[in-house]
Amino acid sequence: MEIVYADPRIVVAVKPAGVLSTDEPGGMPQLLRQELGTPCIRTVHRLDAAVSGLMVYARSAKAASLLSEQLRSRTFGKEYLAVVHGVPEGGVMTDLLGRDPVRRRTYVAAEPGKDVRPAELSYEVLGSREGLSLVRIRLHTGRTHQIRVQFASRGFPLVGDRKYGGGEEGESIALWSWRLEFTHPQTGAAMRFSKLPPKETPWLGFPMPLTGR
């Protein structure tokens, strides 16, 4: 486990691709309990199993409650890096997203309805090459497969995302949780963590953001 930060109330770690972020056998909470030798690791937010990058976990019920409240009030900042097909312009994406539980796919809905929820993100294009673009994304809502669906629905599917039309056999999804910003649940201190994706395809050749900004 790559642990970026740990104290008695929280732990920040890098979730590998293919590992569940939730509390299931082989998931991140179980792995962190084993690594840290602690009985309490609680999930605060989620990443798709195929997606990698930074996650924060609570080490007490109270810490989990306070961090979850920050998520609900949108004072918990989450930013992602993604490589997409095409050259989008940057800006804000706002959609109504529904979920097909049988096919396990999220879709853009034409109008409000049962289990249809608003979704919003903002993004900027950091660089483009060979028909691909690196985008920096800030989530304003946290819907299942939100980033993947919102970009794919506009003709910019993520590299490696076979479910939503952007991948080929053997490719990994080019989506990385690169920055977290939140208030420490015990001390009240402003916490900020950044971690760039690995220096490998498809991230190579793009200008990466500065980790301190």
Active site residues: 48
Distance in angstroms (rounded) separating the CA atoms of residues 46 and 42: 11
Kindly state the helix (H) or strand (E) to which residue 184 belongs, with its residue range: none
* Burial letters 80-92, b for 16+ CB under 10 A, else e: bbbbbbeebeeee
Distance in angstroms (rounded) separating the CA atoms of residues 62 and 56: 14
Backbone φ and ψ for 118, nearest 5 degrees, come out as: -70, 145
DSSP state of 210: P
Kindly state the helix (H) or strand (E) to which residue 68 belongs, with its residue range: helix 61-72
Bridge-partner residues for 192, per DSSP?
181
Distance in angstroms (rounded) separating the CA atoms of residues 2 and 111: 42
